[in-house]
Amino acid sequence: MQTDSLLKRNGLSVTESRKKILQLFLEGSGALAHGDIEKKAGEKFDRVTVYRTLQTFVDKGIIHTIPSADNSIRYALCKDECSEGHHHDHHIHFECSICHTTYCLDDVVTPQINLPKGYVAGHVEVVVEGVCKNCK
């Protein structure tokens, strides 16, 4: 199973909740918020387990957070280059204003930004809001 190997590769024990939550990310196209996961997972897991599992996955570099302006952080699978402590996330994110799906556009690289004198750029986050291909 894809979930099992992904977990093992990251030194995590293979448990029901981790498999299920990882499965949700693998089968869906969009990013998921904490609430989405609770809903999709049904009543199977404790709310606390979802919090802890998401945090574990972020720590291990399996998923990453997508910034938002509405206090509801979404999470999405990292690509393979991500590893613990070193998250290489050079793609942009797209939020559909109609269906509210958030996508990782892995093929669109974050642009170079020219900062004013004195500022040193590290990581660049780009979130584009608009209409996705399904809602057009």
Partner DNA sequence: GTAACTGCAAAATATTTGCATCCTT
Partner DNA sequence: AAGGATGCAAATATTTTGCAGTTAC
> Which positions lie near its own copies, rule CB under 8 A?
65-71, 73, 92, 94, 97, 105, 107-108, 111-133, 136
Give me the least distance between CB of 123 and its own copies, in Å please: 5
Q: In 10 A of CB 123, how many CB atoms? A: 9
Q: Is 24 in the site for DNA (CB under 7 A)?
A: no
Give me the least distance between CB of 29 and its own copies, in Å please: 13
Give me the least distance between CB of 19 and its own copies, in Å please: 26
Distance CA 21, CA 63 (A): 11
Q: Is 47 in the site for DNA (CB under 7 A)?
A: yes
Q: In 10 A of CB 98, how many CB atoms? A: 11
Contact with DNA (CB under 7 A): which of 51, 124, 125, 127? 51
Q: Three-state DSSP class for 11?
A: coil
Enumerate residues 67-86 that contact DNA by CB under 7 A: 71, 73
Which of DNA, its own copies, none has residue 87 at its interface (CB below 5 to 8 Å by kind)?
Answer: none
In sequence order, the 6+-apart residues with CB closer than 8 A to the CB of 66 are: 31, 73, 74, 75, 76, 93, 102, 104, 127
Q: Three-state DSSP class for 96?
A: strand
Q: Which helix (H) or strand (E) holds 65?
A: strand 63-66
Q: Is 18 in the site for DNA (CB under 7 A)?
A: yes
Q: Is 56 in the site for DNA (CB under 7 A)?
A: yes
